Copies of this chain bind each other. A is one copy, B any other.
């Protein structure tokens, strides 16, 4: 499959690398076609890897991952273009973390809104699914590095898109338990979990952890 990955940071490179590894063609997108990080990644990831602008990556992908920093995601998606996202599954991995006040970051969007909702509201023809934002990048694509049972969440308004993303999470990334939290407004909960995530990372002194929901 052809996949567009927006964002050339740790998350974009890690997800892009995994997707190439499991057999897909991946184009990493950034603000400019010439991006040193994306270029290095492309050379390392092999012949199914390429890079270009946000618009190039979105046009290339049959599905698209938003792995940009949450505070600039809307801007990046506008650069990607409505038409290039139309009808496509758009997996929103971003967290609207604002580091401008120092550590720990605050959320630039929260409580009565979420980044995923703003994306779905503006990009009406994209089929937005929030997923993977609740774990570290290495855990996203290799959940087995965290021992024991643990779960990944998703939400969105398009049932078909959620089914497709759940299959991607299971078959390509190796997740065993995918919990559907409902419509896109559940992204508020998924994004507002980040402040707890940051404290858990402090307590366990590692980003390689995740939650399992024990239930009756």
Contacts and interface: CB of A to CB of B under 8 A. Distances in A.
Interface of A: 101, 104, 106-107, 110-112, 145-150, 153, 155, 179-182, 185-186, 188-190, 192-193, 195-200, 202-204, 206, 208-216
B213 A213 contact: no
In this complex, which of A148, A155, A182, A199 has the most chain B Cβ atoms within 10 angstroms of its Cβ?
A199
A153 B196 CA distance: 10
Contacts of A192: 110, 192-193, 195-196
Contacts of A211: 211-214
B216 A203 contact: no
B214 A209 contact: yes
Number of copies of this protein chain within its complex: 2
Nearest to A208: B216
A200 to B, nearest CB: 6
6 contacts: A110-B111, A111-B195, A150-B212, A181-B202, A208-B215, A209-B213
A213 B200 contact: yes
Contact of A189 (B147, B149, B198, B214): B198
Contacts of A209: 213-216
A153 B149 CA distance: 19
A196 B187 CA distance: 8
B189 A195 contact: yes
Contacts of A149: 214
A199 B213 contact: no
Contact of A215 (B190, B199, B204): B204
B215 A212 contact: no
Q: Lowest 10 CB-CB distances: which A-B pairs, in order?
A: A189-B196, A209-B215, A189-B195, A211-B211, A150-B214, A148-B214, A181-B199, A192-B192, A186-B199, A208-B216
A29 to B, nearest CB: 30
A79 to B, nearest CB: 28
